[in-house]
C-alpha cells in the first residue's frame, strides 16, 4: 500500500481532551441524585419555563434547609431558544437569595415589579409587546428585525448589573462554578474539510456546521478569576473584571443568551465572538469492534477566519437546527458513551426537559393548497423537527424509564396538555408578548405543574439506594404508589420495593388543589384590534425601508407611493385577523355571556 493510500492518522487531541470528555463518568456520591436540566421553549412561552424554575428553586431551597436524608444536585443546565435565556437568568442569580412567587393569580397580576425575582420580572413584567412594535429603531432607515429589540437590550443591561452585584448567598445543589451550555445557530457556520485519501491531491469537501453551542461557567465569587485552575479550555469563565482568553463578563453571557433566542427575522441577530480554541474541543464518538473511542472534530482552520485568536459570527435562535441539548446534558451526566440507568430501583441521575411549546400528538394529514400552502407547511415541519430527536422524546414518555423526564404544560380541568394548555403559545408563541395576563397564567401554570410533577412523577422505588438514609417515619410520611398517590399503609414490614418516594419532596405544605378555582383561563384578556395603531406604524415603517432597499425604478416607486397606505392597511388587517383567529382556536377570545 502506498503512503498516499495509508489511512489518515487521528488528530492529536488537545490538552485535557480525555478528561473533559470521558466515555463514562463516575457515579454520583452515595445518597445523591444528579438532575440535568434541559430548557426549551421560545419567545413569550418562556414565562412557563420561568415559573417552573421558580417553583423548583423554592422546593430545592426548602429541601436543603431540612438537613435532608439525601441530596439533589444540578450539575448542568442546557438551553435552546428561550430556554437559553432562562438558563442564563438562573445562572445570574444562582448565588442570590430567592424570592419565590405565590401560587395566587390575583397576587401575581397585581405584582408590577419584582427585581429580586428576575425569572418573574423579565418574563412577565418586562417583555411588553407594545415595546416591540415601537418604530423608533427604524429611524435610521434600516431594519435589523421585524420587531424592535431595544427592550431586550435594556433587560440585558439590567441583568448584567444584577449579575455584577456582589452577593454571598450559596446553594449546595448548584455546583461552583454553575455550568450551562447555550445552543445558538451560527449563521456563517464552522467549516470542516473531509478528505478522500484514496485520491492523491484531492482537497476534499468543505462542510459548514451551523448547529453551535457555547459553554459558560459562573464561579460563586462573581469574579472572572480561576485561581484553582478549574476552567475548561472550551468554556467562558464569567464574572467581573475579566482578563485573558476564555474569561468573559456578564454582558457576553447575555449576548449569547439573546442570540440563542433570536427568532429568525422577528428578533435581531447578535454579533458574537469567541476564542477559536473552543472549537478544538468538539467531540465525536466512534464505535469500533474494540469499543467506543472519543476523538476531536478538527475544523478547517484555513477557512475559519480569526482575528487575534478570536472567531466572529452571527448568532440566531438555537432552535433553528437540532443542536441536541438533550445529548449535551446527557454527556455531562453520564459520559460520551455511557447510558443513564433507567430502572426505578437504580436510577441516580436523570434529565428533566422543560418545554412549553411541545404539542400534543396529532394524526398527520395531507397538506392542502398550492405553492404557498406547501411552503408554509414545510417551514412548520422544519421548525418542529429542529427541536429534539424523536428517540429522546420517546424515552421521556416511556413509563418504564426513570432517567428521562419531561415537563410540559398541563391543565387537568380543561383536559389539555402541551402547547394547548398554555396561553403564551398562541400565534407561534409570540401572542403572549401582547397580553400580560397570558404570561401571568403561564408562569403560575409552570409553578403548579412543577409542584405536581415532583410529587407524582419524578419518583423512584423506595428500594433505590438513594433512600438508604430515610427513617421509617420519613418513609411513612412520603410513601406513594406507582401512580404517585399517597400510600398511608407503609410500616416496618412493608418491603421497600412495594412503594415509591419522591426525588425532590415538596416541603411547602399542601399544594393547591384543582386548577379551575385558583387559575382562571385568561379568555377575553386581549382584543387584537387594540394593537392595530401600533402595528400599523410598525408595518408602515418597515414598508418604507423595503421600498428604499428593494423597489427600484421611477414607475415602481410612484406606484408604491400611491398604494403604500392601502398595502400597509391590508397587511396590518391581515395580521390582526390572523391574531384573532389564533386566539379563537386557543379559546382565548371572550366567551358567550362575558365569562372570562
Q: pLDDT tens across 137-157, in order?
A: 998 878 889 999 999 999 999
Residue 467 lies in a domain: no
Q: Would you put residue 415 in left (φ > 0), alpha (ψ -120 to 50) or beta?
A: left
Residue 368 has pLDDT above 60, yes or no: yes
Position 340 pLDDT exceeds 80: yes
Which pLDDT score is estimated for 436? Answer: 96
Q: Is 317 a catalytic residue?
A: yes
The pLDDT of 479-500, averaged and rounded, is 94
Q: Is residue 533 in some structural domain?
A: yes
Residue 43 in domain: yes
The stretch 318-329 carries a mean pLDDT of: 85
In a domain? residue 102: yes
The H-assigned helical ranges of 34-99 are 46-64, 82-92
Same domain, 433 and 533: no
Q: Tell me: pLDDT of 161 over 50.
A: yes
The pLDDT confidence band at residue 210, using thresholds 50, 70 and 90, is very high
Q: Is the pLDDT of residue 7 over 50?
A: no
pLDDT over 50 (residue 28) = yes
Model confidence band, residue 203 (pLDDT cutoffs 50, 70, 90): low
Q: Are residues 96 and 245 in the same domain?
A: yes
pLDDT of residue 543: 85
Catalytic residue among 44, 54, 81, 442: 81
Q: Which of 196-200, 343-347, 416-420 is predicted with the least confidence, judged by mean pLDDT?
A: 196-200
Query: Among this protein's residues, is 153 annotated catalytic?
Result: no
pLDDT for 310 equals: 95
DSSP assigned state of 21: S
> 312 and 187, same structural domain?
yes
**Is the residue at 492 inside a domain?**
no
pLDDT value at residue 4: 44
pLDDT at 12: 80
Side-chain-side CA neighbours of 354 within 13 Å: the count stands at: 32
pLDDT for 144 equals: 85
> Which pLDDT belongs to residue 465?
97
Report d(CA 291, CA 132) in Å as an integer: 53
> Is 532 found in the same domain as 509?
no
Residue whose cell numbers read 431586550: 152
- Residue 424 pLDDT class (50, 70, 90 cuts): very high
The position carrying cell 485568536 is 309
Q: Which of 321-325, 397-401, 453-457, 458-462 has the lowest mean pLDDT?
A: 321-325
Angle at 24 between CA 22 and CA 27, to 5 degrees: 125
Residue 204 near residue 195, CB atoms below 8 Å: yes
Peptide bond into 112 cis (omega under 30): no
Domain total in the chain: 2
Average pLDDT over residues 24-40: 96
What pLDDT does residue 548 have?
Answer: 66
If 0-12 CB within 10 Å is exposed, 13-18 middle and 19+ buried, where does residue 421 land? buried
Residues 86 and 223 in one domain: yes
In a domain, 6, yes or no: no
- Average pLDDT value for residue range 16-43: 94
Range of the structural domain that residue 590 is part of:
524-551+558-595
Position 5 scores a pLDDT of 43
pLDDT band per the 50, 70, 90 thresholds, residue 565: low
Do 55 and 166 fall within a single domain?
A: yes
Measured CA to CA in angstroms, residue 344 lies from 71, 463, 467, 475, 501 at distances of 17, 9, 12, 16, 10
Burial 539-574, CB ≥16 within 10 A → b, else e: bbbbbbeebeeeeeeeeeeeebeeeeeeebeebbee
User: Do 562 and 420 reside in the same domain of the chain?
Assistant: no
pLDDT of residue 596: 43
**Do 547 and 507 fall into the same domain?**
no
As a whole number, mean pLDDT of residues 467-480 equals 96
Q: How far apart are CA 201 and CA 132, in angstroms?
A: 54
pLDDT range class, residue 547, cuts 50, 70, 90: low
**Contact between residue 48 and residue 8 where contact means Cβ atoms under 8 Å apart:** no
One domain, residues 415 and 528: no
Mean pLDDT of 317-334: 88
Task: List the one residue out of 132, 589, 83 whose CA is nearest residue 355.
Answer: 83
For residue 550, the Cα-to-chain-centroid distance in whole angstroms is 36
Confidence at 593, pLDDT banded by 50, 70, 90:
low
Asked if 484 and 500 count as a contact pair (C-beta separation under 8 A), the reply is yes
Sheet strands (E) in 387-523:
404-407, 410-411, 416-417, 459-461, 500-502
Which range among 37-41, 117-121, 327-331 shows the weakest confidence by mean pLDDT?
37-41
Mark whether 136 and 78 lie in a shared domain: yes
Q: Are residues 510 and 542 in the same domain?
A: no
Residues 358-371 have a mean pLDDT of 61
Does pLDDT of 6 surpass 50? Answer: no
Task: Please report whether residue 190 resides in a domain.
Answer: yes
| Residue 266 burial (CB count, 10 A) | 15
pLDDT band at 562 (very low <50, low <70, confident <90, very high): low
pLDDT band at 9 (very low <50, low <70, confident <90, very high): low
Q: What percent of the chain has pLDDT over 70?
A: 87
The DSSP output letter for 467 is G
Please provide the average confidence, as pLDDT, over all residues in the chain. 87
For 54-93, the pLDDT digits (tens) are 999 999 999 999 999 999 999 999 998 888 899 999 998 8
Catalytic annotation, pick one of 121, 226, 234, 317: 317
The better pLDDT of the pair 368, 239 is held by: 239
Q: Are residues 415 and 547 in the same domain?
A: no
Amino acid at each position: 500500500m502506498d503512503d498516499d493510500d495509508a489511512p489518515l492518522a487521528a488528530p492529536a487531541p488537545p490538552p485535557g481532551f480525555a478528561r473533559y470528555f470521558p466515555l463514562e463518568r463516575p457515579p454520583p456520591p452515595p445518597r445523591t441524585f444528579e438532575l440535568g436540566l434541559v430548557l426549551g421553549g421560545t419567545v413569550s412561552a418562556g414565562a412557563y419555563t420561568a415559573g417552573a424554575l421558580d417553583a423548583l428553586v423554592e422546593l430545592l431551597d426548602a429541601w436543603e434547609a431540612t438537613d435532608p436524608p439525601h441530596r439533589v444536585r444540578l450539575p448542568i443546565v442546557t438551553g435552546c431558544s428561550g430556554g437559553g435565556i432562562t438558563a442564563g437568568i438562573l445562572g445570574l442569580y444562582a448565588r442570590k437569595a430567592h424570592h419565590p412567587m405565590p401560587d395566587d393569580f390575583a397576587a401575581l397580576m397585581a405584582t408590577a415589579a419584582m427585581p429580586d425575582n428576575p425569572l418573574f420580572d423579565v418574563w412577565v413584567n418586562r417583555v411588553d409587546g407594545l415595546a416591540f412594535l415601537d418604530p423608533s429603531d427604524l429611524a435610521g432607515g434600516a431594519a435589523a428585525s421585524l420587531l424592535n429589540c431595544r427592550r431586550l437590550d435594556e433587560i440585558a443591561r439590567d441583568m448584567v448589573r444584577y449579575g455584577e452585584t456582589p452577593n454571598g448567598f450559596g446553594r449546595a445543589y448548584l455546583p461552583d462554578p454553575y455550568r450551562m451550555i447555550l445552543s445558538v445557530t451560527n449563521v456563517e457556520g464552522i467549516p470542516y474539510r473531509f478528505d478522500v485519501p484514496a485520491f492523491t491531491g484531492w482537497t476534499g469537501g468543505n462542510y459548514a456546521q451551523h448547529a453551535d453551542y457555547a459553554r459558560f461557567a459562573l464561579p460563586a465569587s462573581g469574579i472572572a478569576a480561576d485561581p484553582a485552575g478549574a476552567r475548561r479550555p472550551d468554556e467562558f469563565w464569567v464574572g467581573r473584571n475579566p482578563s485573558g482568553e476564555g474569561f468573559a463578563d456578564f454582558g457576553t453571557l447575555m449576548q449569547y443568551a439573546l442570540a440563542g433566542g433570536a427568532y429568525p427575522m422577528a428578533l435581531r441577530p447578535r454579533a458574537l465572538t469567541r476564542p477559536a480554541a473552543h472549537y478544538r474541543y468538539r467531540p465525536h464518538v466512534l464505535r469500533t469492534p474494540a469499543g467506543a473511542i472519543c476523538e476531536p472534530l478538527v475544523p478547517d482552520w484555513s477557512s475559519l477566519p480569526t482575528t487575534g485568536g478570536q472567531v466572529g459570527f452571527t448568532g440566531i435562535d438555537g432552535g433553528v437546527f437540532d443542536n441536541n441539548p438533550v445529548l449535551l446534558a446527557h454527556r455531562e451526566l453520564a459520559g460520551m458513551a455511557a447510558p443513564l440507568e433507567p430502572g426505578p430501583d437504580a436510577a441516580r441521575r436523570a434529565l428533566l426537559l422543560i418545554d412549553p411549546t411541545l404539542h400534543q400528538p396529532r394524526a398527520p394529514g395531507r397538506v392542502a393548497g398550492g405553492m404557498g400552502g406547501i411552503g408554509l407547511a414545510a417551514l412548520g415541519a422544519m421548525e418542529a423537527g429542529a427541536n429534539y430527536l424523536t428517540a429522546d422524546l420517546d424515552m421521556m414518555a416511556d413509563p418504564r424509564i426513570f432517567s428521562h423526564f419531561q415537563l410540559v404544560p398541563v391543565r387537568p380541568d380543561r383536559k389539555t396538555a402541551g402547547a394547548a394548555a398554555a396561553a403564551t403559545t398562541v400565534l407561534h408563541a409570540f401572542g403572549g408578548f401582547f397580553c400580560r395576563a397570558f404570561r401571568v397564567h403561564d408562569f403560575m401554570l409552570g409553578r403548579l405543574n412543577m409542584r405536581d410533577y415532583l410529587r407524582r412523577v419524578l419518583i423512584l422505588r423506595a428500594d433505590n439506594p438513594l433512600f438508604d438514609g430515610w427513617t421509617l417515619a420519613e418513609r411513612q410520611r412520603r410513601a406513594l404508589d406507582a401512580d404517585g398517590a399517597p400510600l398511608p399503609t407503609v410500616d416496618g414490614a412493608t418491603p421497600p420495593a412495594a412503594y415509591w418516594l419522591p426525588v425532590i419532596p415538596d416541603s411547602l405544605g399542601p399544594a393547591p388543589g384543582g386548577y379551575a378555582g385558583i387559575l382562571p383561563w385568561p379568555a377575553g384578556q386581549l382584543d387584537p384590534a387594540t394593537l392595530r395603531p401600533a402595528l400599523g406604524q410598525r408595518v408602515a415603517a418597515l414598508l418604507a425601508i423595503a421600498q428604499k432597499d428593494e423597489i427600484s425604478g421611477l414607475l415602481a416607486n410612484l406606484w408604491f407611493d400611491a398604494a403604500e397606505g392601502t398595502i400597509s392597511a391590508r397587511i396590518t388587517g391581515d395580521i390582526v385577523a390572523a391574531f384573532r383567529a389564533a386566539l379563537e382556536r386557543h379559546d382565548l377570545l371572550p366567551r358567550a355571556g362575558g365569562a372570562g
